[in-house]
Amino acid sequence: MISNSIPAPLNPVSAPGIDLIGDLHGHYQELLTLLDRLGYIESEGQYRHPQGRGLIFVGDLVDRGPQVRETVRLVRRLVGSGLARCVLGNHEYNLLCYVSWVPDRFLRAHSPRHARQVSATLAAFADTPGELLETLDWFKTLPLYLELPGLRVVHACWDQTWIDYLRQHLPNGRLEPGFLLESSIPGSAAYQCIETLLKGWEVTLPHGLGYLDAEGNTRHETRLRWWPQPASATWADWLVSGAEALACKDQPFDEEVPGRLYPSDAPPVFCGHYWLSGMPRLQAPNVCCLDYSIAKGGRLMAYRWDGEQVLDPAKLTSSG
């Protein structure tokens, strides 16, 4: 039995360093490869670093990949033993809503698109429904963000307004049944909070433009950067990824951003979520996205953090 209990917090002050790992999406073998490259040694199902380094996962353990169950089991073991921490990703949140029933509806509609998104995860646990229920309960113990000494972690966007909202309404930073229900109601404060922290800022494209997302869906809204950009920046400068396919990419960006940009003097923050590609890079000296599209033939990415407040791109390490 894998414990669902909340372990003692991983302490970056006493740990020699922390390795932060991007979206996994059921890619278990790539995770093992990355842990090996980072110097972790397996013993009795656990992975420990000889220098005592710790691990933090930025969420999105499930969906899309070939070994969702194995991936979740390993991360649960690491978290349960105090060797790692993990924040909730939007795919874990979406799965919770997909299977949660209130008197007249599921919290997430069972549309063909939503069914496709969770199909790999539900198939992975088809023969072990009890373990799926345990896993869902464990997801509810995961924090929506981490703020540790000198270090912050959130799945998609660190927006201080909504971090402060969570501190007031969810003091332990974890989902509760009432909050989960409220967050499924469009327009509610809880809904806006989850949309921002787990899914990021979005903006409507001009002139009715659209694009195909990573799953082949046509979208007319696109993900927006939440770290500072030049005052004269174009649409291409402001979009997180995919700008090269947009007709408006070279036009000046004059939209109002949804919140306050991440301050340049704030502690380093790590996220996932954004389907990056190409050469690994920092988004800002104190912002690092670790999602390099492992579920679409990309790489699993990690950052080796040793307490620095100005991040170093040379400390990005990939699975291949």
Q: Of 2.60.130.10, 3.60.21.10, 3.40.50.1980, 3.40.50.720, which CATH number belongs to 18-196+264-318?
A: 3.60.21.10
Residue 237 banded pLDDT, cuts 50, 70, 90: confident
Query: Strands, DSSP E only, in 91-205?
Result: 101-102, 105-106, 145-148, 151-154, 202-204
User: Measured between alpha carbons, how far apart are the two ends of the chain, in Å?
Assistant: 32
pLDDT at 174 over 70: yes
Neighbours of 200 (CB within 10 A): 22
Q: Average pLDDT, stretch 14-23?
A: 88
Which residues neighbour 83 within 8 Å (Cβ) at sequence distance 6 or greater?
A: 10, 46, 47, 48, 54, 55
| Three-point CA angle 81, 86, 92, nearest 5° | 120
Q: Give the pTM.
A: 0.92
Q: How far is CA 229 from CA 168, 197, 233, 284, in A?
A: 30, 20, 7, 9
Tokens of 52: 């005592």
Q: Average pLDDT, stretch 302-314?
A: 98
Of 105, 108, 114, nearest to 96 by C-alpha is 108
pLDDT at 4 over 50: no
Neighbours of 138 (CB within 10 A): 21
Amino acid 256: pLDDT: 83
Sequence ranges of the domains in the chain? 18-196+264-318, 202-257
Amino acid 249: pLDDT: 78
Is residue 47 classed as helix, strand or coil in its secondary structure?
A: strand
Q: Are 39 and 309 in contact (CB under 8 A)?
A: no
**Which residue do the tokens 């909504």 mark?**
162
What tens digit of pLDDT does each residue of 112-148 get?
999 999 999 999 999 999 999 999 999 999 999 999 9
Neighbours of 131 (CB within 10 A): 17
pLDDT at 161 over 80: yes
